[in-house]
Amino acid sequence: MDEPAAQYLCRSDELAERGRGVVFDVMLWRQPARGFALRIDGRAVAYINRCAHVPTELDWNPGDFLDAERRTIICAVHGAQYSPATGHCLGGPCGRARLMSIDVTESDGQVSWYPSRDIAPLSFDDEAPSPSGENTTP
């Protein structure tokens, strides 16, 4: 089987250590969704922007995923906390679940992500999610 083609995500310098996340559009199970990338302990990581408790986006402002101490990813809705390095639930209503991770690589000042069986890039025929997360298809 062919290796999935790497997809451009952002420049390396857009990901500050435990800084704001870079949000990007994907297709998850053929539906528009968003991923987000962070830099944690020097390493770029990425996840689907979807809480494991209720399938809603996590960020409390666009791109703000981390708690005040910048130690955990915290869901804006009910406060579930996730390890930013692994996506595992650390506390709150996410139980034993974890965030859905997206494979990323970084080289030559560029971060790229890899599609998987479940996560695909948007094509020109796909509609990106609206800013509110609502599907605007009539």
Query: Contact residues for ligand FES (CB under 6 A)?
Result: 51, 53-54, 56, 75, 77-80, 92-93
The sign of the dihedral angle between the CA atoms of 25, 55, 118, 3 is positive
Is 10 or 51 the residue whose CB approaches ligand FES more closely?
Answer: 51
Distance in angstroms (rounded) separating the CA atoms of residues 123 and 23: 17
Is 55 or 105 the residue whose CB approaches ligand FES more closely?
Answer: 55
Instruction: Work out how close the CB of 14 gets to ligand FES at its nearest, in angstroms, rounded to a whole number.
Output: 25
Instruction: Work out how close the CB of 40 gets to ligand FES at its nearest, in angstroms, rounded to a whole number.
Output: 20
b/e sequence 82-107, b meaning 16+ C-beta within 10 Å = bbbeebebbebebeeebbbebebebe
Instruction: Work out how close the CB of 48 gets to ligand FES at its nearest, in angstroms, rounded to a whole number.
Output: 13
